[in-house]
A and B are shown apart, each in its own frame.
Chain A
Amino acid sequence: MAEQSPPVVPPPPVPPAGTTAPAPDAKPISVSALNEAPSELDQLLGEAPPVSQEPTSFRKGWASWLRQMPRLSFPQPNEQFELIDRKQLIALLKDMRADQDSARRIVADLKHLDVELLRMFRERDYEAKYQQNRYRLYQITYILLAALATLLGSLLALFLEVRPALVPYIALGETFVALATTYLATISGREPAMPAWLDNRRRAEHLRREYFRYLANIEPYDEVEGYEREMLLARRAADINRGFFPGLNPDEGK
């Protein structure tokens, strides 16, 4: 994690013998900073859960395996979702004592990312979660039907000698299980959920990485400037969104 400067600027530290001298702009670090009260940034980041569109309060207090079970009604997408919380960002920029020009350029980058990339990420991330829920809902229904079929089969074997009168009812139950499974297989066959889930998740995660690649200003964004840099992001984000991953496709650029 980045070393964070204390609220009050301490005297410049004396580097120990044998180490390189600090850069003129480098942040001074003192041992006493370790004992100081946590800054506003520490408080904000310390309590923050990992960034996700899923609310942290969802099924709070439930057993872990039950928390992962699918929902019957899926929530609407969160249009306000951001990969970087604005409060945390402002606190970090203050903490870093970022100069005006740097802060302005970073904020401009974030605004551009919002327009060109984040909306696509939100859609892909939401769609991935939606399809994951759909896939698991179908699979768990199949698992329940399979358990029911096993149960009915065992009961049928059990009652065949003890209570033969019950056998037709159990056989009817088995038929209903088979029909329900066929019905479910037919409706889940249209737009299969698993490939849609995996495909959307792959694109969403690639978009997330591209977001931070642009913000960190590393290759290929460090090779161009101004509107060319912005256009490069727009082009790459659109490519990722359609499943064409820059750097991974052999036909790229042709």
Chain B
Amino acid sequence: MNRKELETRYALFNQFALQDQKKYYKKALGENRKAAAQVNRLRAFMGLMTGVSAAIAGFIVQTQFLGKNSCSATLNVPDDCVAWRTAVVILTVMAVVLPAIAALFSTLADLYQWDKLIAIYRSAMENLEVADAQSPHPQTSDDLIFRASYRAFVEGTLNVMSDETAQWGQSIRTPQQVEHFITEEIEKAQRRMTGRTDSVKG
């Protein structure tokens, strides 16, 4: 293979393997960063709203349901008690529902492993820069040197791609919460089907 063809193949590999891979890592890094941040914000928001709901419910109970002329009294019940009772029920249900939604987002983060993927793609991008630094210079007059650095550049790029795939594969795990949940629910279903109830909660 002559020098000109080697240069053309280098340009092809550089463009369609290395640069394309760089674009992919950059895109994946950005997407995973955004997804991790968005889900974390949602989780934090659910936690915050749980606390706020519980605090307001407690406040309403203390101010409207304690004392002689409060909503809990048997005589002289104020007119707005229906509204206060409804508010307490809604806030209590929110304080119960929101942590369940927050837990859903936590398990989602465990399923997608965004933080681990961010670390893998960042490291792969940095390693790809090292491989890129080995790229042969078109002004290298010695064909042997050009060939050697071309080979190092290609092998280096392919190795980074290979390492990233291996690390990515190791990061994929089924969340433990999901595995426990499946085991528990199957046991629960078996108990129900065989007529054993154990407890009300089951």
Instruction: Report Cα–Cα, A153/B20, bound state, in Å.
Output: 50
Give CA–CA (A106, B5) in the complex, Å. Answer: 9
Give the interface SS of chain B, mostly helix, strand, loop or mixed: helix
Docked CA distance A89–B9 (Å): 11
CB neighbors of B among A183-214 (8 A): 185, 194, 197-198, 201-202, 205-206, 208-209, 212-213
Would you call B68 an interface residue if the criterion is a C-beta within 8 Å of the partner chain's C-beta atoms? no
Do B201 and A156 touch (CB < 8 A)? yes
In the complex, what residues of A have CB within 8 A of residue B196's CB? Answer: none
Residues of chain B within 8 A of A154, CB atoms compared: 96-97, 99-100
B19 CB contact (under 8 Å) in A20, A45, A93, A171: A45
Stretch at the interface among B59-67, B118-126, B173-181: B173-181
**Chain A residues with CB under 8 A of B2:** 102
Stretch at the interface among A25-33, A119-127, A235-243: A25-33
A155 to chain B, nearest CB (A): 6
Decide: A23 and B141 in contact? CB cutoff 8 A: yes
Q: How far is the CA of A179 from the CA of B182 in the complex (A)?
A: 11
Q: A147-B104, A151-B97 are in contact. Are A198 and B172 (CB under 8 A)?
A: yes
A61 within 8 A of B: no
The answer to whether A20 and B172 touch across the interface, beta carbons within 8 angstroms, is no
Give the number of chain B interface residues (Cβ < 8 Å): 74
A23 in contact with B3 given A143-B104, A146-B178, A160-B200 (CB within 8 Å): yes
B104 with A144: CB separation less than 8 A: yes
A144 to B201, CA, bound (A): 19
Count contacts between A and B, CB distance < 8 Å.
Answer: 230
Measured CB to CB, the nearest residue on chain B to A142 is B178
Say yes or no for A68: interface residue by CB 8 A criterion.
yes
User: Which residues of B lie under 8 Å from residue A23 when comparing CB positions?
Assistant: 3, 138-141, 143, 146
Contact with A along B131-143 (1 / 0, CB 8 A): 0000100111111
Interface size class of A (residues with CB under 8 A): 35 or more
Interfacial residues of chain B within 1-45, with CB under 8 A of chain A in the complex: 1-5, 7-17, 19-21, 23-24, 27, 31-32, 34-35, 38-39
A145-B185 contact, Cβ under 8 Å, with A25-B7, A155-B96 = yes
Residues of B within 8 A of A84 (CB): 12, 16
Once bound together, how far apart are the Cα atoms of A68 and B17, in whole Å? Answer: 24
CB of B116 within 8 A of chain A? no
- Residues on B with C-beta less than 8 A from A142 are 178, 181-182
Q: Would you call A205 and B96 a contact (CB within 8 A)? A: no
Tell which of A106, A143, A149 has the most Cβ of chain B within 10 Å. A143
Chain B nearest CB from A93 CB (Å) reads 7
| In the bound complex, CA of A157 to CA of B11 (Å) | 67
Is there contact, CB below 8 Å, between B3 and A143? no
Residue pair A212, B16 in contact (C-beta under 8 Å): yes
One digit per residue, 1 when the CB lies within 8 angstroms of any chain B CB and 0 when it does not, for chain A 133-147 equals 000100110111111
B111-A140 in contact (CB<8A): yes
Residues of A within 8 A of B11 (CB): 2, 92, 96
Q: In the complex, A244→B39 CA distance in Å?
A: 39
Chain B residues near A144 (CB-CB < 8 A):
104
Residue B70 is within 8 A (CB to CB) of chain A in the complex = no
Asked if B186 and A50 make an inter-chain contact with CB atoms under 8 angstroms apart, the answer reads no
Known A93-B8, A147-B100, A218-B154; contact A26-B138, beta-carbon cutoff 8 A: yes
Q: Is B52 an interface residue (CB 8 A)?
A: no
A217 within 8 Å of B (CB atoms): yes
A111 an interface residue at 8 Å Cβ cutoff?
no
Q: Is the CB of A175 within 8 A of B138?
A: no
Other A-B contacts than A20-B139, A51-B20, 6 sampled, CB-CB below 8 A, are A2-B10, A2-B14, A146-B107, A158-B96, A212-B17, A216-B12
